[in-house]
Amino acid sequence: MNTTPAIDLMGTLRSGNSTAPRLTWYGPDSERVELSGRVLDNWVAKTSNLLQDELDAEPGMRLRLALPAHWKAMVWALAGWQLGLETVFDGSPADFLATDDPTAATGQHDAVIAVALPALAMRWAGGLPAGWIDYAAEVRSHGDVFMPHTDPDPADCALRTADGNAIPHRDLLTGFALQHEEGARVHIPADRGLESALSSALGAWLRDGSVVLTHPEVALTDKLRADERIHGS
């Protein structure tokens, strides 16, 4: 079986100290979401299953994430990489589009998925264009364990960066992930964008660490730093 670093990483988060916090989000209006390794893997598995079983996604297909740096956006990126998709940030054509802004959908896609960002959202607030998928309404019905129908090829492209660089799956954790100290609890400001946030988060998880992702409206105070035991950057 050909495995990719993303598949191996999800296996580690699922089984190694799986109840420890891995991704903590601070959003507007005092929103705080904390995902352990097991819970993060659960969300990623459900999202991968939605892509594979409902949208017929296969390794090598392309996913565009028109999303801000947010915990759900990180779930989407991990789900795509686990499935063997290529995530594009350079605006090039893609088979699937995941977005929190229906007005931003341009070009042709096999499927467009509306991602409601509030943590407690059970469905998209308001109407959606015909044929769009409501992520919040659909994802919870999918399985908690992901079994790929087709093994991804580690040599295939995993990421097309905003400046057009192509990074294969096999190099995702060595050529894209930002390196951190072992076990670091890393703060990631969301205003740096999703691509930067993913690079930092992958590097932290690779070294058995965790991340605290903060919305641009949330200040990194001394109290927050102490409460979350942030000791890496």
Domains in the chain with CATH codes: 5-227 (3.40.50.12780)
| Phi (first) and psi of residue 76, to 5 degrees | -65, -45
Instruction: Encode the chain (233 residues) as per-residue pLDDT tens digits.
Output: 568 999 999 999 988 878 999 999 999 989 999 999 999 999 999 999 999 999 999 999 999 999 999 999 999 999 999 999 999 998 889 999 999 997 777 778 999 999 999 988 999 998 888 889 999 999 999 999 999 999 999 999 999 999 999 999 999 999 999 999 999 999 999 999 999 999 999 999 999 999 999 999 999 999 999 999 998 65
Other C-beta atoms closer than 10 Å to the C-beta of 131 total: 8
Determine the Cα–Cα distance for residues 87 and 95; give it in Å rounded to an integer.
10
Look up the pTM and report it: 0.96
